Amino acid sequence: MSTLDNDLARPQGAEPAADPVERSLLGFLRTRTKSEWTADQDLFASGAVSSLFYLELLQFVEQEFQVTVEGDDITLDNFRTVHAMAALVRRLRAGASGEPGPRP
């Protein structure tokens, strides 16, 4: 899976995401929805997404970042924004490697 050109995904006036996880997530959203996203934009406020989209998002997160998202981690808050998703990925990666990681 590839990351994206974040300059293309960035709405006018928005700062580029420095975090590579966030850049990758923004790229997925842009490609999949054909619209621009910011890292703090509420995914669920858009009202234009379906369960199938969420499934694709979950599969993207798991495959792109080599993590397993399951059980209590499947919450609206963990997926509400790109910031939140990136924090979840960092925590899961830290857990998988045995290193202590920040919790959201």
What's the one-letter identity of residue 55? Answer: L
Number of residues that bind other proteins (CB under 8 A): 15
Q: Contact region for other proteins (CB under 8 A) — 11-19, 21-29, 72-80, 92-100?
A: 72-80
- Contact between 44 and other proteins per CB under 8 A: yes
Q: Whose structure tokens read 């990136």?
A: 86
Among 79, 81, 85, 91, binds other proteins (CB under 8 A): 79
Cα separations (Å) of 100 from 22, 72, 82?
21, 19, 22
Report the candidate in 48, 44, 51, 103 with the shortest Cα–Cα distance to residue 79.
44
Residue 96 binds other proteins, judged by CB under 8 A: no
Q: Which of 16, 66, 75, 96 binds other proteins (CB under 8 A)?
A: 75
Stretch that binds other proteins, among 15-23, 28-36, 71-79, 81-89 (CB under 8 A): 71-79
CA-to-CA separations, 79 to 13, 51, 64, 83, in angstroms, rounded: 24, 13, 15, 9
Identify which range of 12-20, 22-30, 51-59, 89-97 contacts other proteins by CB under 8 A: 51-59
